[in-house]
Structure 1
Amino acid sequence: MELAYHGQRNREASVFRSSYPFSAIYWQPSGPRCCNCVADLALLLMTSGSSGAAKAVRLSYANLDANSRSIAAYLELSSTDRAALVLPLHYSYGLSVLNSHLIAGGSVFFPGISVMDGDFARIIDESGCTNLSGVPYSFELLERSNFRTSQSKALRVMTVAGGKLNADLIRLYRDHMRTKGGRFFVMYGQTEATARIGFVPPESLSDKEERIGTAIPGGSLTLVDDEGAPITQSGTAGELVYRGPNVMMGYGMQRSDLSRGAELEALNTGDIAVQDEHGFFRIVGRKNRFAKIAGLRIGFDIMEQALLREGIAAAVIGDDAGLQAYVIGEDSVERAQRILAQASRLPANLISATARDNFPRLASGKIDYACLQDETRKRRAEPRVVSGNVFDAYARVFYPLAVSRKDSFVSLGGDSLRFLQLVMELEQLGVDVPDGWERMTIAELGTHHPAVFSSKRDGARGLPTHLVLRAIAILLVVIQHETLWPVPGGSGVMMLLVGFSLARFQSTHLLAGRLSLALRSAINVLIPYFLIVAAYAVIWQTIPWASITLTGNFGYAEPERHEMIPYLYWFIEAYVQALIAFALLFAIPAVRRFAQTRPFTFSIGLLGFAIVARFSLPLFIEIGGRQIFAIYWVFHLCVFGWCAGFADSPAKKLVLTALVALVLGYLAFWETVWIGTTVKHLTIFAALLALVYMPRIRLPADTGRFVTLIATSAFPIYLLHRFVPELLMAPAAGILPVAAFHLMAIAGGVVAGIAANYAVAGLRNLLSRYSIERRTELRSA
């Protein structure tokens, strides 16, 4: 027997011939034993503890040997078999995979990576694995990673145990293995029986996928009623009892138990089952997974099955106080309550459902019901907190996306624009938002006490630096576009904030490969942009294709020829191109893995690439002065902002500061062609230092509210500010003094943007309210 281990860092499999460090108390046959323990005691293994406290199971050498031989027999294992072992060895199922292959003379391969890893299928195939065993949760993860589409040549056997696998998945993997000429085994077992108790022969996996099959070779299964009398009639439920040489010696609760011999001949499994006319058993519940509620005996497993039939994944618990269901997804809560009321015949006030992102699980992959019971007890003991106002604020800002109380700003794919809108909404609600609130769920945020917004409080905490910089940047853009004074740098700071926003709000999605969520932020930018493009197209009676394709900043089109809209919208094109660049980069699994393990190192490497592009590409691309709008000319600024988002230690901040000083110093004082260039790069440098070293900026309360208003309206100000002087004020151009005209144009552009922002927010709120009312009417109907 050889044990092959595939490590995370070393991509070559290593062969170990020494004993593996089991996470259990294991006596070697020839090694020393506790002086008080009996000679037959080989192993103390903990039960899963999925529905209560875990207990130590005493297993003998005879138990281990018998169960290993039985499993090897019905799986028809031989010395040519190699198992991919993804289950922990302190779990009876995982240990049985090792022992059954050991006794058959086969081998075991330890992949060392998750089944969700993109390389998992390739690695086990290259290792020559013939067998793969998993718990139901393992197969759920395999399905998410498209395992069935992989070309695994050697795999001939797959097995599932450790809980009930969804019938659809059983059919999928049954058919998958049949098409490959292999076999799929559904098995049943308990630690108290060493591991395996029953299995379904692959040829018997028909349309009754809920069955656990018949007893393993050498064992027998029967049913008994509440008084312990045998049940022989098919279709009658009773407790499942197993007899066989693999039944444990007994439990070990204290030291003295180690000296006791075998105490059991039969194992009362605690599972309630029925036997069909073919002799196959089906689990219908758990003996301790029942409660008498309002005089009715309610089986929690039966309730879970009722929900699952309606497509709702749930974990159901309960006690005398009522039935509690935990479901995946906020949209399943009301439907789950309705289904449970029908299935249990309990009054609605004794049934509650709570949405979760996922279920707590044990190392075996089973749902941790004990954890859910603790969670339920704690929630009942705490005063209920209503977060409806916070929820409504999220629903308004993220309309038309569906929002649940388990969502957070980041999980919803929030961006810098929505961040600012939500800050305003929460401030109006008087919610005290702590640092890092964007990663808190809506329910958690709703528990924070109302804030007292006074000048003292605002002065003490200050505003987020990126919010202040956004307000300053848009004002610089408006002023420079109107006056042509040498105060450039606003657009550069905005590009810096694009990268910082990606790092802060979208990096979780990018690193996880959820590119659609990361790109969702572009929708809020592109919709109003394309409305403006459409307006120009109508007025010009032609289509500005360069703007439609977001490539006008590449220097091949001219607004004068109506090929693109005015140059000032180049920033939107560069913004979208930067998003696409990040999405393409993180679409590569190897890049994501490296960025996940070493985010700052990856960021510096990306910065190096962007800097090289900035200095080298202009040598090969000749578009004259238009190159200042090209993505390669400004992408390094975006990456500077991205790096600032990951500079979370003094050393990283120092490295980033040195690189910024070197690059921007060169551009400001060596490559500069006029004073405006120097001002521009020094402004960007100051903004980056503020991002890295000043998380918040203290401002008086009134100033803070004004800055927040400007920052929140920054994008509509950018879109609309030039329409004020060029359209609305055009008749007054030769009448007003130049200074007055400039001042009114700047103020008018800002006011136009603020007004547009309020109008859009009002429309969004109106649509959101209508949507909520409509859903309420449909549910009532």
Structure 2
Amino acid sequence: MPIRSDVAGLALARGRVEHVALLTDEGELTFGGLRDRIDARRLELGATRRLVMIEGANALEPVVTYLAALEAGHPVLFVDGDPQRSAHRDALVQRFDPDVIASAGDEADAGAAGGAWRLDERRLGTRHTLHPELAMLASTSGSTGSPKLVRLSHENLLSNAVAIGDYLNLGTADRAITTLPLHYCYGLSVVNSHLVSGGSLRLTERSVVDGEFWNEFAEAGATSFAGVPYTFEMLEAAGFAERELPTLRTITQAGGRLDPERTRRFARLGRERGFDFVVMYGQTEATARMAYLPPALAESAAGSIGVPIPGGRFRIDMPAGATTDAATDAQSDSEAVGELVYQGPNVMMGYAEEPADFAMGRTISELRTGDLARRRGDGMYEIVGRNNRFAKIFGLRIDLDRVERLFADEGLAVRAVSADEQLLLFVLADRFLHRVHARAGSLFGLPLHAVRVHAVAEFPRTSNGKPDNAALVRHAELLAHAASATNTGATDTGVVDATPDTIRSLFAELLGRPDASPDDSFAGLGGDSLSYVEVSLRLEQLLGALPRQWPTMSVRELAGLAAVQTSEPVSADAPDVSAAGAPVASSTARPAARSGRGRRRMPRLETPALLRSIAIVLVVGTHANLFTAPGGAHLLLAVAGYNLARFQLADVPGRGRVRGLLKSGAQVVVPAALWIGAVGLITGGYAATTALFVNNFTGGARWSDQWQFWFLEAIVWSMLALAAVFAVPQVDRLERRHPFAFALGVLALAVAARVLLLGGVGAEGTERYAIETVVWCIALGWVVARAATVWQRILVSALALASVPGFFGDPAREAIVVAGVLLLVWVPRIPVARMLVPVIGALAGASMFIYLTHWQVYPPLENEFPALATVLSLAVGVVVWKGYTFVVARGGAWFRRRRAAARRP
């Protein structure tokens, strides 16, 4: 039966009419304009109090609907607007039967201009009895689908918003950018506290690792943003410390315990850059916040939750019933540990497990948090554990008992515990590992690396027959330590942290692409032969042996490699690694673990990386008179062609190939031109034509110092020519359809041109270094990369044996090139001593810089100290490489900051 609304609603938008309230991609909206939209939406919702479900999104329409519903007295139930969470929404609809569902249509995002935001009225009135104070219903556990909702009153929402504004000193000059979803109480509290304080919000759905997010931040002149612990992991991986954000005044953190050392790092950064880092503590049952750590204490008191918010108070209930009250007993034992109990006007009215509960008034007066805490000597409160079966993981409150029930409903016996911000699941057989790991991710909305699944012989119990969860936690810690020991260094055993998140972070770090997503690949992100060495070595550490096609595999696909690799157990008590990426107990499921196998196999490096390091040593050692083994530079050309096909000519969408070729060419030209030009100006040893990479066309037929960089000229001009060719769509499509045949055609043309220009097979003098007569080496490497079948590899091997001999007139030199090419064809990875891995990686990564600089290093030493000349040449090249990459990284960060500043209004 409909009930007329005689309840005074809650108005949160309290800024002056002329001040900006919301900013979106479409423009600004003042509080006056927001007021008009709220009034219009109130008319649409009607005067009868009804339960309004809103699909959350950081966009205009959901915010307007939320504010209008509150003002009209309609209780609000926020749900996740992600299409992938539709099953969860449907379950809530079925259980709690909302009267109105406000959602985005299928054709446009919520809040988009002309979008499909709509109010679906499921009935004209309401079938619920709604308590006059009921303002909002909030899920206690994020996306776990818990049937229990938190009943919040108008006083709860307002008091907490005002308290947050109070301790953050929010005012009209403050502008937050949205980083958390509206259906999450922390994200909603950012909206509430800023609007009630007269501040404003920049609404965006972008992630903090998206470069465009920071452009929006700068353009809006935002002063703050909020994050959960995972947010700050991503920020550090994306180089947040290098960003210049002159308008940033406050960063807030909640949603779980942040590592104390990371807290200190951000606090120190804030002290240096002029912003406050505010750590906060809360639960949905307390509307949002219960405590905060004053910014001045963020470093010295890192790890604590701070003090109660204005209007709130804590006490600690010890097991024996004694209490420590923060307000009345300041002299009590500061080390006493007990359950943290909170009192304040923001404590919920109670829970709702069914629609009938909507009519209830307040059923609790204080909140028993379920956290074990102590009051420290400095007056700060510190959480030391949990005394119930709830866990806070990545900002989501997970009911561990419900986790077990959900799996039981699917016929799976699972025990759930939590430690160190991870969900630990235990099963009774290996065959359930993959299923439980994958299902956990979809059920609970957690990153897969936050879920660990283990197999045990039986579930442990205490002496009185109760589940021994502490024993499971200890067992998980043992497995983690053993797996960590097994995977120290570059190994090709199993994977513990080879998840989409860790691989995405690796790409973001090493490729300078914080916008990398799980669907991106190394090649698609612009990876090239200059960056692949370090990336491949790091991936080898995570995944073990890599397939030949890894550069074109997406982050998800690379993480999936962990599902087909297992490690050797290190002892009877140490686990191996499951296909799900989780340690697997070996006590019963894997009897072989008792054999005591603990041998660590030699790491296996990709052949192109090893060949690059060997070839550059051959080049430098030969030039420095340490030995005589020419042929290394031409082998490097073949490896360059191989990598060019894998990276710049990978099957990436659109015009990515042309951009990749031009970018890679620039990465060679810029440092080489700077070095050659500087040396030429200082010593007069190089002409301008050499620094401009045109010596091939002007250098003449006699060898001179101007020919020293023929190798780099060949690579650069080949890339430019290919960029021009692949800019023709028809050519690009032809190569994609027939990659091996296309590469064969290119090799045939290159060899034919070589023979015609030389008038035969052999080359003499500078003919061995001219672009037109060495480009076949690059084409040969290209064909090797495209050989996918055994017969194709046999054909390529025959072509190598046919095309190389006779070119130099030196069988030993030709043998080096042929041997290297055959290794590329038939041996994708080569085992090497573990201690050599970092050396090989450095030499391979710095090979271009070693080649570039060694001409100035070895000559004074080559006659008397050839070994020293060789080692010093290699070392100088590595140092220059490291220095150049450091300067480029810093320069790129500076450029991005200047660009953002220039775009700021």
Whether contact under 8 Å (1:137, 1:366) holds in the other structure is no
Alignment partner, residue 151 of structure 1: 244
Which residue identity does 2:655 align to in structure 1?
T
Q: Is the CA contact 2:494–2:565 (under 8 Å) kept in the aligned structure 1? A: no
What's 2:165 paired with?
72
1:343 is aligned to: none
Distance 2:167 2:559 in 1: 50
2:616 maps to which residue? 530
> Aligned partners of 1:608, 1:181: CA distance in 2, in Å?
40
Which residue of the other structure, out of 559, 572, 590, is the alignment partner of 2:636?
572
Q: Which residue pairs with 1:439 in the alignment? A: 558
Give the Cα separation in 2 of the matches to 1:326 and 1:223: 23
Q: 1:193 aligns with which of 280, 286, 291?
A: 286
Change (3 A) 1:68 1:414: same
Alignment of 1:143-292 (within 5 A): 143-205=236-298, 207-226=300-319, 230-231=323-324, 233-234=332-333, 235-288=335-388
User: Could you give the per-residue CA deviations for residues 420-467 of structure 1, whole angstroms, max 9, x where no partner exists?
Assistant: x9xxx999xxxxxx999983666522379xxxxxxxxxxxxxxxxxxx
Q: What is the correspondence of 1:417-432 to structure 2 with a 5 Å cutoff?
A: none
The one-letter code of the counterpart of 1:283 is: I
Give secondary structure in 2 for the equivalent of 1:212.
coil
**Structure with the higher fraction of residues in helix conformation:** 1
| Aligned pairs (5 A) from 1:474-623 | 523-534=609-620, 536-537=622-623, 569-570=633-634, 572-573=636-637, 575-576=639-640, 599-604=653-658, 621-622=697-698
Asked if the contact 1:200–1:211 (Cα under 8 Å) also holds between the matched residues in 2, the reply is yes
Question: What residue identity is the alignment partner of 1:124?
Answer: F
Structure 1 residue 525, shift from structure 2 partner: 2.3
For the residues of structure 1 that align with 2:775 and 2:244, how far apart are their CA atoms?
53
For the Cα contact (< 8 Å) 1:92–1:194, is it kept in 2? yes
- The amino acid of 2:715's aligned partner reads I
Is the 1:197–1:219 contact (alpha carbons within 8 Å) kept by the matching residues of 2? yes
Match for 1:40 among 129, 133, 148?
133
Match of 2:227 in 1: 134
In 1: Cα distance, 2:740 partner to 2:445 partner: 46
Q: Which amino acid in the other structure matches residue 218 of structure 1?
A: G
CA shift in 2, pair 1:323/1:153, >3 Å: closer
Shift of the 638–440 alpha-carbon distance from structure 1 to 2, 3 Å rule, reads farther
* SS, match of residue 139 in structure 1: helix
* 1:30 has 2:72 as partner: yes
Distance of aligned partners of 1:178 and 1:721 in 2 relative to their CA distance in 1, 3 Å threshold: same
Residue identity opposite 1:536 in structure 2: T
Give the drift of 1:263.
1.6
Distance 1:287 1:727 in 2: 76
The alpha-carbon deviation at position 120 of structure 1 amounts to 4.5
- The answer to whether 1:635 aligns with 2:724 is no
| SS across alignment from 2:231 | helix
**Are the counterparts in 2 of residues 51 and 368 from structure 1 also a CA contact under 8 Å?**
no
Equivalent-residue separation in structure 1 for 2:141 and 2:371 (angstroms): 15
Please report how far the alpha carbon of residue 668 of structure 1 lies from its aligned counterpart in structure 2 after TM superposition: 11
Structure 1: distance between partners of 2:724 and 2:545: 30
SS in structure 1 of the partner of residue 235 of structure 2? helix
Cα-to-partner distance string for 1:648-700 (whole Å, 9 max, x where unaligned): x999946999999999999999999689999x9999999999999xx95475x
The 1:767/1:57 distance shift into structure 2, 3 A limit, reads same
Q: For 1:176-232, what per-residue CA distance to the aligned partner results, in whole angstroms no more than 9, with x for missing partners?
A: 333455433221110111001111223344523222122211222111134665345
What is the CA–CA distance in structure 2 between the aligned matches of 1:225 and 1:724, rounded to whole Å?
86
> Secondary structure of 1:174's partner?
helix
Q: Distance in 2 between matches of 1:197 and 1:638?
A: 62
Provide TM-score, normalisation by structure 2: 0.47
Residue 576 of structure 1 deviates from its aligned partner by 5.0
Figure out how many residues of one structure are paired with residues of the other and give that number.
557
Indicate how the Cα distance of structure 1 residues 74 and 581 shifts in structure 2: closer, same or farther if over 3 A, else same.
farther
Tell me how far apart the structure 2 counterparts of residues 521 and 13 of structure 1 sit (CA, whole Å).
56
CA separation in 2, counterparts of 1:171 and 1:368?
Answer: 27
Cα gap change, 1:726/1:380 in structure 2, threshold over 3 Å: closer, same or farther? farther
Shift of 1:569: 3.9
Partner of 2:471: none
- Return the alpha-carbon distance in structure 2 between the equivalents of residues 580 and 663 of structure 1: 14
Letter in 2 for 1:533: V
Following TM superposition, by how much is the alpha carbon of 1:528 offset from its aligned partner in structure 2, in angstroms?
Answer: 2.2
CA contact (8 A) 1:177 1:183 kept: yes
Residues 126 and 662 (structure 1), Cα distance of their counterparts in 2 relative to 1, 3 Å cut:
farther
How much identity, in percent, do the aligned residues show?
26
**CA 1:169–1:669 in 2, change beyond 3 Å: closer, same or farther?**
closer
What SS is found at the alignment partner of 1:196? coil
Q: 1:376 to 1:599 in 2, by over 3 A?
A: same
Secondary structure, aligned partner of 1:239: strand
Deviation at 1:362, TM superposition (A): 11
1:292-321 alpha-carbon deviations (Å, 9 max, x no partner):
xxxxxxx999xxxxxxxxxxxxxxxxx999
Establish whether residue 372 from structure 1 lines up as the match of residue 451 from structure 2.
yes
Kept in 2, the 8 Å contact 1:285–1:300? The answer is no
- C-alpha separation in 1, matches of 2:24 and 2:457: 43
SS at match of 2:370: strand
- Looking at structure 1, the residues matched to 564 and 720 of structure 2 have their Cα atoms a distance apart, in angstroms, of 35
Match of 2:892 in 1: none
Inter-partner Cα distance in structure 2 for 1:178 and 1:746 = 61
Query: 1:102 matched to which residue of 2?
Result: 195
Deviations 1:554-592 (A, max 9, x none): xxxxxxxxxxx8689435247559979999x99xxxxxx
Q: Distance between the aligned counterparts of 2:234 and 2:535, measured in 1?
A: 33
* Structure 1 residue 80 displacement after superposition: 1.5
Q: Which residue of 2 aligns with 1:92?
A: 185
Are 1:405 and 2:494 counterparts? yes
Could you tell me whether the CA contact under 8 Å between 1:212 and 1:281 is conserved in 2? yes
Q: How does 1:348-387 map to 2 (within 5 A)?
A: 372=451, 375-376=453-454
SS in 2 for 1:242: strand
Q: Is contact 1:157–1:183 with CA below 8 Å preserved after alignment?
A: yes
- State the distance in 2 between where 1:204 and 1:539 align: 62
CA distance 1:572–1:643, shift in 2 (3 Å) = farther
Distance 2:310 2:285 in 1: 17
Report how far residue 68 of structure 1 moved: 0.7
Q: After superposing the two structures, state which structure 1 stretch, 140-149 or 618-627, moved more.
A: 618-627
Q: Which amino acid aligns with 2:563?
A: E
Distance in 2 (alpha carbons) for counterparts of 1:78 and 1:417:
50
Provide TM-score, normalisation by structure 1: 0.53
SS in 1 for 2:302: coil
How far apart, in 2, do the equivalents of 1:164 and 1:582 lie?
43
RMSD of aligned alpha carbons: 6.8
Aligned 8 A contact 2:781 2:821 in 1: no
1:288–1:689: structure 2 CA closer, same or farther, 3 Å change rule?
same
Secondary structure in 1 aligned to 2:245?
Answer: coil
Q: CA deviation at 1:606?
A: 5.0
